[in-house]
Chain A
Amino acid sequence: MSVLLAVQGLTKSFGGVRALDGCSFEVAEGSVTALIGPNGSGKTTAFNVITGYQPADAGSLAFRGRPVRRPDPCRLQRLGLSRTFQQARVFPGLTAAENVILGRNEPWHALLRRRVAGPDRRRAEALLGEFGLAAHADTAAGRLSYGQRKLLELASVLMAEPALVLLDEPAAGINPVMVKTIEDHIRRMHARGVTFLVVEHEMKFVMRLCDPVIVLDRGRPIACDAPRKVQNDPRVLDAYLGD
């Protein structure tokens, strides 16, 4: 498998705290790769730096074999890299369909002028159908349950037809049935060729779904292996249980 995303020597400090410390790893095309680690190990900072929400102090990034200088969320999305957030981010006052259409990142001006092109509208409705939200197409996103908002965020992200999706805690704050639903959707999209990089604390979810599993500790990877090997790696256990 070819390398879709390559992260090299990423460093990011907040005051005296080095959240990322020369962090390097790769995401292979066609994988569902996990990025795990104890609290404060740098997972979300890695996401924020990779997706251009925070500038890195040092390090480089390559996506689809090309260097990405000064990552920017909108440009990355056009290149095929999208992300979700720990707390599902949707526009609560817009309908579910409008939220999904906005995920395309381009025709927002058309939406403002209420001229959403037919194909976009149809694609958004198809996505809502796939995620079991067809009946809510015209419901304000703010009225959906938290689990439904997570599904909506995922559907919106797919509107841009990304090659790589970064999921920040997709299983956080939702009930076990919804966790399984989200897992099924990820598997379905993966089967269609979407690559995933997943930050998640729910370990059973990670170990079922992801391979390889990258473990961060103090801002850099300490392991990258198959789930079973990671679970039995004493360095990983030390990182989680402290010293």
Chain B
Amino acid sequence: MDAGLQLRGIVAGYGQGDILRGLDLDVPAGQITCLIGPNGSGKSTVLRVISGLLAPTAGKVSLAGVDVTGWSPRALLTRGLAHVPQERGLFPAMSVWDNVLMGGYINADQRAVARRAAELAERFPIVARRRHELAGSLSGGEQKTVEIARTMMVDPPVLCFDEPSAGLEPRARSMIFGTLAELSRDGRTILLVEQNARSGLGIAHNGAILDAGTVRLAAPAAELLDSPDVGRLYLGAS
């Protein structure tokens, strides 16, 4: 299945005023696409529209060629699209293991859920090592790793990450980026919104710069890394 994402002419916002103003974006299947842009340019809003948390007032979202505009987050998850939001989303008072099991809530087959969790514990050793500990006691980077493991419970072919490195110290940050690169090697489609533009582009195949609600520049990530336009857009030079 070609699990690419395509956004065309997306207009969306909250209350008064549009945040996204006719946004076009292609997220090719099996690759990492990194969306960067200054504060307030609409990066998180793009993810909210894709994952069904915010309905666009115009435009179309396609997933693997199917028009999924306005679908609920649950319907999209069933279709294979998962969203890992920026804020820490683990249940701090539950164990690491129970948190991971929660990721399988849309699967009624409890044995299959347990089997999948055991597989993930092999892939993400921290899940096995800290399984009985309360999730809230883990460091920021460890929590993010467990959150990614939990997302993998439904084995989604398409993953959207909102600033996974936010608030992490450099070592934890490179660990998370390493995990994302590994997920991509499985052939998954990844859309990464990242404030740390250079680190994000460093692991991505494609990059796009968002400014004032539209994509100003889309190019191979390596090209964007060297582009003077990136700094210009961030620092408002004309």
Interface residues of A (CB under 8 A from B): 38-40, 145-146, 172-175, 201-207, 228, 230-232, 236-237, 240-243
Residues from chain B with a CB closer than 8 A to the CB of A175 are 16-17
Within 8 A of A (CB), among B1-34: 16-17
Total A-B contacts with CB atoms under 8 angstroms apart: 59
Please tell me if B235 contacts chain A, counting CB pairs below 8 Å.
Answer: yes
Residues from chain B with a CB closer than 8 A to the CB of A204 are 236, 238
Q: A207, B237: Cβ atoms under 8 Å?
A: yes
Residues from chain B with a CB closer than 8 A to the CB of A242 are 195-200
B235 contact from A39, A173, A205, A236, Cβ within 8 A:
A236
Please tell me if B38 contacts chain A, counting CB pairs below 8 Å.
Answer: yes
Please tell me if B76 contacts chain A, counting CB pairs below 8 Å.
Answer: no
Q: B39, A231: Cβ atoms under 8 Å?
A: no
Please tell me if B234 contacts chain A, counting CB pairs below 8 Å.
Answer: yes
B39 contact from A39, A232, A237, Cβ within 8 A:
A39
Please tell me if B230 contacts chain A, counting CB pairs below 8 Å.
Answer: yes
Cβ of B124 to closest chain A Cβ, rounded Å:
25
Complex-state Cα separation, A145 to B17, whole angstroms? 12
List, sorted by A's number, 14 A–B pairs whose CB atoms are closer than 8 Å: A175-B17, A202-B40, A203-B234, A203-B235, A203-B236, A205-B236, A206-B236, A207-B237, A231-B237, A237-B235, A241-B197, A242-B198, A242-B200, A243-B196
Cβ of A229 to closest chain B Cβ, rounded Å:
11
Q: A241, B230: Cβ atoms under 8 Å?
A: yes
Complex-state Cα separation, A174 to B200, whole angstroms? 29
Q: B16, A145: Cβ atoms under 8 Å?
A: yes
**Assuming the A-B contacts A146-B16, A175-B16, are A243 and B198 also in contact, with contact meaning beta carbons closer than 8 angstroms in the complex?**
yes
